[in-house]
């Protein structure tokens, strides 16, 4: 829902390269098994927004997956900034991915894996219009690495987006283990009840999002279970991720919602 | 747990090729998003076991993912057999994977995707010794494409295997949405209670396995919920998949189990 053309250049294992000259090995476990992590970061033209937050999440995911990223945070930052500057794109979405690297047949992690690190960049719009969102019947397990970390195993999100688009919506909301609302397919969801913004807790399948975390820490959003019935009653709702920040939902499950910008002003202000 | 060296050759989009000469594009959605499917098939040296069953499952998954495989079943069979014969390996594991192909940034499926089809081959042992298995705290959502189909989004299984191996076991059992037993990391699980073999139903997170399906249709295995407590009481247990057939579990959560081959004879006979 925020796609732009991909730049010609990428940053691959420590050097800038043309994408069409990069070869991914057919035995790379990112390709064969979705075995890796990624982060999508906003390049403003001057800086990478929330860079430390992204690195903290990536580092946490890597430790849980047992993935040793062969670059320091400074090296990653320098690589991403070099890519962004070489591309000339702004604003732009940087996508940093780390796979386990090549491996033999089977799931077992190689004894001495050599992770594969690739960053690409793509244009993003400067403004994101409000969206129509629908709940779909795709469930997320809370006790699964694919739900707790930003792994390359993203097929559930892809199918959730397809189902929502097939119903004419722009994005889908997925469900947690007990059927309550979890998150969007590439964003978290906030709903407004009374005078308070709510977002599902991680145990209901929400991804530990960068913007979500900042808004919770700022005291502007409360973690609360969101039963499906709440979608019929909430006053307003929005999606949040590191690329778009806060994106109003104008229609939720076919019901028009208030989308006055004033409703979101406090959230947006907390992110700048 | 059944890894052997990978052959030098592969079958890529309709032709035999050396693996080291195949380039996967860095924007292939198999690599970036785990967006695709795979099947692991046993080449006996004369034939591909259960070929029709594998094609039925692949076709079902492809229709659910909206993935148009650009080869007929006959073309896939001819390609796999050509690869197997060219490799000289037997018995061997064929891995056929189909990704969505290249795409721009984001989850949205391209309007006219060009799927990427790759088959590799690796040696497998002629016999598989009994294994030690432990339950791990990795949960599978039943209403998720990644649990219902053999997608490339396999990170949960990888982590489940890692956790089990860290406890000294050979394989792990994952849990379904309510915590009951779902399946192994690359196999389904059967447990023996009284005079009957049981396996978890699909809604508890089991993968629709080829061998599992054949044994159920043969009337030898019943689909029943397997609460964790049953693991403490069952008389015997085994793993099943298309590569190993039936593999006895000699130790389950630290408890030795009967592994007399006679217990499994009926199951094995039904597969030949």
Distance between CA A107 and CA B35 in Å, rounded? 17
Q: Is the pLDDT of residue A72 over 90?
A: yes
- With tokens 């064929």, the residue in question is B94
- How close, in Å, is residue A90 to chain B by CA atoms? 15
pLDDT band, residue A221 (cuts 50/70/90): very high
Distance between CA B187 and CA B184 in Å, rounded? 5
Apex B249 CA angle, B244 and B253, nearest 5: 135
Indicate the residue of B1, B153, B185 with minimum beta-carbon distance to A154: B153
| pLDDT for residue A127 | 86
To the nearest whole number, what is the mean pLDDT of chain A?
95
Please answer yes or no on whether B138 and A145 come within 8 Å at the CB atom: yes
* Nearest residue of chain A to residue B151 (CA atoms): A155
Distance between CA B147 and CA B140 in Å, rounded? 6
| pLDDT for residue B4 | 67
3-state helix, strand, coil in chain B (%, to 5): 30, 30, 40
* Per-residue pLDDT tens digits of chain B, which is 272 residues long: 455 678 899 999 999 999 999 999 999 999 999 999 999 999 999 999 999 999 999 999 999 999 999 999 999 999 999 999 999 999 999 999 999 999 999 999 999 999 999 999 999 998 889 999 999 999 999 889 999 999 999 999 999 999 999 999 999 999 999 999 999 999 999 999 988 999 999 999 999 999 999 999 999 999 999 999 999 999 999 999 999 999 999 999 999 998 787 899 999 999 98
Q: What ipTM does this complex have? A: 0.95
Instruction: State pTM to two decimals.
Output: 0.96
**pLDDT (tens digit, 9 = 90+) per residue, A148-164?**
999 999 999 999 999 99
Place domain B131-270 in its CATH homologous superfamily. Answer: D-amino Acid Aminotransferase, subunit A, domain 2 (3.20.10.10)
- How close, in Å, is residue B248 to chain A by CA atoms? 19
Domain ranges in chain B? 6-123, 131-270
Find out whether B240 and B190 touch, Cβ atoms under 8 Å.
yes
Structure tokens at B43: 């080449």
Find out whether A48 and A94 touch, Cβ atoms under 8 Å.
yes
Q: Which of A12-21, A55-64, B250-259 has the lowest mean pLDDT?
A: B250-259
Find out whether A219 and A213 touch, Cβ atoms under 8 Å.
no
Please answer yes or no on whether A104 and B5 come within 8 Å at the CB atom: yes
- DSSP states along chain A: ----PEEEEEEETTEEEEGGG--B-TTBHHHHH--EEEEEEEE-SS-BTTHHHHHHHHHHHHHHHT---SS-HHHHHHHHHHHHHHH--SSEEEEEEEE--B--SSSSPPSS---EEEEEEEE--S----EEEEEEEEE--TTSHHHHS-BS--HHHHHHHHHHHHTT-SEEEEE-TTSSEEEESSSEEEEEETTEEEE--GGGT----HHHHHHHHTTSEEE----HHHHTT-SEEEEEETTTEEEEEEEETTEE----GGGGHHHHHHT-
Distance between CA A216 and CA A60 in Å, rounded? 19
- How close, in Å, is residue A234 to chain B by CA atoms? 26
| pLDDT for residue A162 | 97
C-alpha distances out from residue B97 to A33, A260, B62, Å:
10, 47, 11
- How close, in Å, is residue A87 to chain B by CA atoms? 15
Q: Is the pLDDT of residue A201 over 90?
A: yes
Indicate the residue of A35, A64, A138 with minimum beta-carbon distance to B144: A138
Please answer yes or no on whether B31 and A152 come within 8 Å at the CB atom: yes
* Nearest residue of chain A to residue B5 (CA atoms): A104
Apex A264 CA angle, A261 and A270, nearest 5: 135
Q: Candidates 1.10.1060.10, 3.90.230.10, 2.40.50.320, 3.30.470.10; correct CATH number of A6-123?
A: 3.30.470.10
Q: Is the pLDDT of residue A3 over 70?
A: no
Q: Is the pLDDT of residue A259 over 90?
A: no
Distance between CA B17 and CA B9 in Å, rounded? 6
Indicate the residue of A26, A64, A138 with minimum beta-carbon distance to B22: A26
**pLDDT (tens digit, 9 = 90+) per residue, A107-135?**
999 999 999 999 999 999 888 899 999 99
Q: Is the pLDDT of residue A145 over 80?
A: yes
Return all residues near B167 (Cβ < 8 A) that are at least 6 apart.
Answer: B134, B136
Distance between CA B69 and CA B99 in Å, rounded? 9
- With tokens 């939720």, the residue in question is A252
Strand partners, B44: none
Apex B183 CA angle, B107 and B193, nearest 5: 160
Find out whether A163 and A144 touch, Cβ atoms under 8 Å.
no
- How close, in Å, is residue B81 to chain A by CA atoms? 19
Mean pLDDT of A66-95: 97
Edge-first strand order for the sheet with B92-99 is: B15-18, B6-12, B116-123, B92-99, B36-43
Please answer yes or no on whether A33 and B152 come within 8 Å at the CB atom: yes
pLDDT band, residue A258 (cuts 50/70/90): confident
Q: Which residues of chain A have a CB within 8 Å of the CB of B147?
A: 141
* Nearest residue of chain B to residue A123 (CA atoms): B105
């Amino acid at each position: 829902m925020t796609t732009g053309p991909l730049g010609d250049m990428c940053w691959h294992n420590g050097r800038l390269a043309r994408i069409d000259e990069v070869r991914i090995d057919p035995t790379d476990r990112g390709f064969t098994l979705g075995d890796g992590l990624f982060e999508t970061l906003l390049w403003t033209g001057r800086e990478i927004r929330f860079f430390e937050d992204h690195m903290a999440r990536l580092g946490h995911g890597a430790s849980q997956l047992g993935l040793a990223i062969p670059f320091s945070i400074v090296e990653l930052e320098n690589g991403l900034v070099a890519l962004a500057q070489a591309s000339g794109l702004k604003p732009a979405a940087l996508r940093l991915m780390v796979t386990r690297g090549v491996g033999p047949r089977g799931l077992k992690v190689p004894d001495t894996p050599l992770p594969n690190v690739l960053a690409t960049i793509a244009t993003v719009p400067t403004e994101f219009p409000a969206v129509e969102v629908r709940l779909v019947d795709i469930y997320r397990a809370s006790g699964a690495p694919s739900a707790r970390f930003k792994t390359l195993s993203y097929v559930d999100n892809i199918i959730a987006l397809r189902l929502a688009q097939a119903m004419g919506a722009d994005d889908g909301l997925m469900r947690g283990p007990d059927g309550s609302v979890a998150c969007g397919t590439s964003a978290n969801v906030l709903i407004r009840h009374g005078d308070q913004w709510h977002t599902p807790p991680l145990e209901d399948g929400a991804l530990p999002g960068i913007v979500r975390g900042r808004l919770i820490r700022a005291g502007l959003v409360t973690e609360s279970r969101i039963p499906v019935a709440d979608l019929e009653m909430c006053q307003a709702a929005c999606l949040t991720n590191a690329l778009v920040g806060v994106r109003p939902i104008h229609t939720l499950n076919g019901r028009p919602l208030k989308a006055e910008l004033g409703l979101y002003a406090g959230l947006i202000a907390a992110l700048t």
